[in-house]
A and B are shown apart, each in its own frame.
Chain A
Amino acid sequence: MTKEAIASRYRRSPEALLSLLHDLQRANHGNLLTPADLELAAAHVGVPVSAARDAATFYSMFSLRPRGRHIVRLCASPHCHLAGAWSALDELRSLLGADIGETTTDGLFTLELTSCLGVCGVAPVMMIDDEVVGNLTPKLIREALARHEEGR
């Protein structure tokens, strides 16, 4: 779908901005918002480009830099912390060869930390895109990453 077609599904009103940015970001290979995306979104909802950029830089889920195809978000909240999120982080770092905020060399995964994902009963927890994986062990982390490698 072209970017214009994506935009045409949204109302021409500022309140559509965040949803439109989400969709435009998803449509890009590198999980990012390009300057052209910001211009398109701003023109569509009727705000200055600076306002679109303002929003895009405020929210942690938007990125202006290229990221991997899949975003791995490890929960860094107290429960996960107590339940061993840091061991999971070490495991992720070594499996991906990427640190927090970095992308794997094959461009498949970006590793990020997130605030509470609200599934504290099964801490430590991570999300890969929309999939939640709980009670993390090295084995479960490997399996979850492998599932997303297949779908590349």
Chain B
Amino acid sequence: MRRIQVLLCSGTACQSCGSEKVKRALLDALGSHGLLDEVQLVETGCMGPCELGPVLLVYPEGAFYVRVRPEDAPEIVGEHFLKGRPVRRILWSEGAPQPHEIPFFAHQKKLVLANCGTIDPEKIEEYIAAGGYEALGRVLTAMPPAKVTAEVKRSGLRGRGGGGFPTGVKWDLVRSAPGTPKYVICNADEGDPGAFMDRAILEGDPHAVLEGMAIAAHAVGACQGYIYVRAEYPLAIHRLELALRQARKLGVLGSKVFESEFSFDIELRIGAGAFVCGEETALIASIEGRRGEPRPRPPYPATSGLWGNPTLINNVETFANVRHIVLCGAEAFAAIGTERSKGTKVFALAGKVRNTGLVEVPMGITLRRLVFDIGGGVPAGREFKAVQIGGPSGGCLPASLLDVPVDYDSLTQHGAIMGSGGVIILDDATCMVNMARFFLEFTADESCGKCVPCRVGAQMMLGILDRIVAGEGREEDLGRLTELGEMMKHASLCGLGQTAPNPVLSTLRHFPEEYEGHIRDRSCPAAVCPNLVRYVVVPEACRGCDACRRACPTGAAQGTAGKPPYRIVDELCIRCGACVAACPFDAVGKEPR
């Protein structure tokens, strides 16, 4: 029995800022104090507050250390582990409350992420100790396939990858589809900017995904599975390979699992850098070794998928939910959430918010709770403006909609979507037109080019937005954008093109005044778009140091040294920003024209 347990986050985010070095320093310090037998160091998956990494959690106290540096290790060991005095300067919260008392965690409900940050994802034994593979055993011994799909249906689980299609219904379609062999595919081609929940699950609890897939395979009658994971996630790939080897060795994958008639194995397929492969038919084409281009549906993969056979495709988070439905029962699962959106959802909070990172909340929580209570709100000095939800396929919701419950239907109703769960908080320094343009540029770039509405439509919308942010917008542009957007929505082949206009359409709906400002007044209300702002000197802050005049390439910054305030002549200004960079007193700013 160890006296102290140290959980060290070893997700990609923490690793990228030095958790490996912290681990080595801790082991050195433990060794030099002869504590290696008394303190257990466990490397876990993502704990959530990525921005504060590397993080480590020490039990039994529940002391949560953040931004730990290797130099801190001797002090943590010497003071805390040896003398029982936590090192307060690197604790997340003064007074060392238990983690669940920290506001960031207090409003969360961890179901899918329950193992992330508490077990060592590289050891199947730890997963089993946490109840792992019990659900698979129960299903194989006591639940015939039809009963499993019925249970998943009753749970109300809907696809977590963005579409929100009822999972049990999909399973039933594949189960009843004629043709063998059948396949189960896990879509781990996460690519939405700002979404990283699937990466965290794959890195922090890979066996939960394997178990979910095996249960699904039993339910639909498949004997072969694939996980399609993007090449940009090397750590997730490594942990999946490890998990697969361990699962085969223990016989939870392979032939005659748990001495039943059920045989199932899973292979990994690695992507090669194409966002569109997250679309299910494109993903199947890519597994088959072809260009990752989508095709028209129907037929849906449920009847004609991989190699033309019935294929079940679900996303990582969806599969990770399955074992909980079996273990706690459909009713208990359905008790979480709203009437039509059951269970929890993992969100990636980012942007202008105090606590960025990964959180899991019950469906139906309000945006306000998500952004302010868990996220901690916008950092001081700025105002909340909007929340962008659902990535490049999603939309922006303004402050007036903060009390909207976060569920599939409410979000869609207001012009956003649940999407994969990326949430970007925007403050008043954000130009909504520019932001919409940024997302459209992304989808235009990632469009595979197969269908005309998406390939040409996105370019045309982008051209119009380029003109608007450059200050050359025309009155008819707004109608044109709406028309093009609606056309893309209805006529594009796959989800990428159908949802690409959403950022533009939702900002047109909720922030029309910003577009009108750009077009009619030639002014960017948030003072972002370079052609639509004016550089000004704040008289009270100017000390007359002459730095701006010397930096200005066109002679627009004028004044006499020692005689503040200076001024900037708008007609001469080319908006290069040299004066802003040169001013040591932050006296040069931008304002809408």
Tell me if A21 counts as interface (CB < 8 A to partner B): yes
Q: CB within 8 Å of B: which of A78-96?
A: 78-79, 81-82
Collect the chain A residues with CB atoms within 8 Å of residue B53's CB: 121-122
A72 to B472, CA, bound (A): 37
Q: Is the CB of B273 within 8 A of A120?
A: no
Q: Is the CB of A82 within 8 A of B289?
A: no
> Could you write out 14 A-B pairs with CB less than 8 Å apart?
A14-B290, A18-B289, A19-B269, A58-B274, A58-B292, A59-B274, A78-B424, A79-B351, A114-B273, A115-B193, A116-B191, A116-B193, A120-B350, A122-B16
Q: CB within 8 Å of A: which of B153-193?
A: 190-193
Interface residues of B (CB under 8 A from A): 12-13, 15-17, 49-51, 53, 190-196, 198-199, 231-235, 269-275, 286-293, 348, 350-352, 356-358, 424, 435, 438-439, 442, 446, 448
Collect the chain B residues with CB atoms within 8 Å of residue A127's CB: 232
CB-contact partner of A78 in B13, B50, B287, B438, under 8 A: B438
A147 to B352, CA, bound (A): 33
- How many residues does chain A have at the interface if contact means C-beta atoms less than 8 Å apart? 42
Q: Is the CB of B270 within 8 A of A18?
A: yes
Q: Is the CB of A116 within 8 A of B192?
A: yes
The closest CB in chain A to the CB of B292 belongs to A58
Of the listed residues A60, A118, A134, the one surrounded by the most CB atoms of chain B closer than 10 A to its CB is A118
Q: Is the CB of B287 within 8 A of A15?
A: yes
A115 to B196, CA, bound (A): 13
Shortest CB-to-CB span from A18 to chain B, Å, is: 6
A51 to B350, CA, bound (A): 40
Q: Is the CB of A47 within 8 A of B272?
A: no
Collect the chain B residues with CB atoms within 8 Å of residue A16's CB: 289
Q: Is the CB of B288 within 8 A of A14?
A: yes
A62 to B351, CA, bound (A): 32
Task: Assess A135 versus B17: contact at CB under 8 Å? Given A115-B442, A118-B199.
Answer: yes
Tell me if A130 counts as interface (CB < 8 A to partner B): yes
A13 to B289, CA, bound (A): 9
The closest CB in chain B to the CB of A51 belongs to B290
Q: CB within 8 Å of B: which of A102-144?
A: 114-123, 125, 127, 130, 132-135
Of the listed residues B16, B193, B424, B442, the one surrounded by the most CB atoms of chain A closer than 10 A to its CB is B16
The closest CB in chain B to the CB of A122 belongs to B13
Collect the chain A residues with CB atoms within 8 Å of residue B49's CB: 121
Q: Is the CB of B193 within 8 A of A17?
A: no
A56 to B274, CA, bound (A): 12
A130 to B293, CA, bound (A): 26
Q: Is the CB of A54 within 8 A of B194?
A: no
Task: Assess A14 versus B289: contact at CB under 8 Å? Given A60-B274, A120-B196.
Answer: yes
Collect the chain B residues with CB atoms within 8 Å of residue A58's CB: 274, 291-293, 448
Collect the chain B residues with CB atoms within 8 Å of residue A115's CB: 191, 193, 275, 442, 446
Tell me if A31 counts as interface (CB < 8 A to partner B): no
Q: Is the CB of B13 within 8 A of A77?
A: no
Collect the chain A residues with CB atoms within 8 Å of residue B289's CB: 13-18, 45, 47, 51, 55
Collect the chain A residues with CB atoms within 8 Å of residue B293's CB: 58
The closest CB in chain B to the CB of A133 belongs to B16
Q: Is the CB of A59 within 8 A of B288?
A: no
Q: Is the CB of A122 within 8 A of B272?
A: no
Q: Is the CB of B273 within 8 A of A130?
A: no
Collect the chain A residues with CB atoms within 8 Å of residue B231's CB: 22, 61
CB-contact partner of B50 in A18, A73, A120, under 8 A: A120
Q: Is the CB of B194 within 8 A of A116?
A: yes
Q: Is the CB of B273 within 8 A of A118?
A: no
The closest CB in chain B to the CB of A46 belongs to B289
Q: Is the CB of B291 within 8 A of A132?
A: no
Given A51-B289, A59-B274, A121-B50, 12 more A-B residue pairs with CB atoms under 8 Å apart are A15-B287, A54-B290, A60-B274, A78-B435, A78-B439, A79-B193, A79-B350, A82-B351, A115-B193, A119-B13, A120-B50, A121-B13
A13 to B307, CA, bound (A): 12
Q: Is the CB of A116 within 8 A of B50?
A: no
A60 to B357, CA, bound (A): 28
Q: Is the CB of A120 within 8 A of B290?
A: no
